[in-house]
Amino acid sequence: MRHPLHPALVHFPVACWSLAVAADFAGWHFGEMAWSWSGGLLAVGCAMALVAMIAGLVELSRVPDGPAMRDAYLHMAAMLAAFAFFTSRLLLRLEHFHPLAPDGLSMILDVGGFFTLVIGGWLGGRLVYGHGVGRN
């Protein structure tokens, strides 16, 4: 696998989800002008995350057994948790496909999603830079 697809795709959900969290928190100060962006960012992030997860599953067979595979499973678990947090955040605050202002539960889901996203991203980086997965 000279050029794995998964690492190229993960930038989209990471960026969209991170910006959605920033938009929700900025909404406390700027109001609807800020938080209205989070719905679209979450939707694009969740859709692209599905594509990235499929690519990651296809490329999982290239991960060597041992510590690298253990980190791959931890990476998958963290990213599935992030996906669950952000998908829940999106679906719970939609009304007729229009985003609603974030509430306390939204912020908890944002923080949980961002926390698991950071852990999953760190583990993904460890796979590439620590274990050499996907490199020649």
Record the pTM. 0.92
2: pLDDT strictly greater than 70: no
**What does R_g of the chain's alpha carbons equal in angstroms?**
16
Pairwise pLDDT comparison (4 vs 57), residue with the higher score: 57
CA-to-CA distance for 84 and 61, rounded, in angstroms?
A: 24
Pairwise pLDDT comparison (5 vs 86), residue with the higher score: 86
pLDDT, tens digit, 9 for 90 and up, residues 20-37: 999 999 999 998 989 899
Give me the pLDDT at residue 95, please. Answer: 84
- In this prediction, what percent of the chain has a pLDDT beyond 70? 98
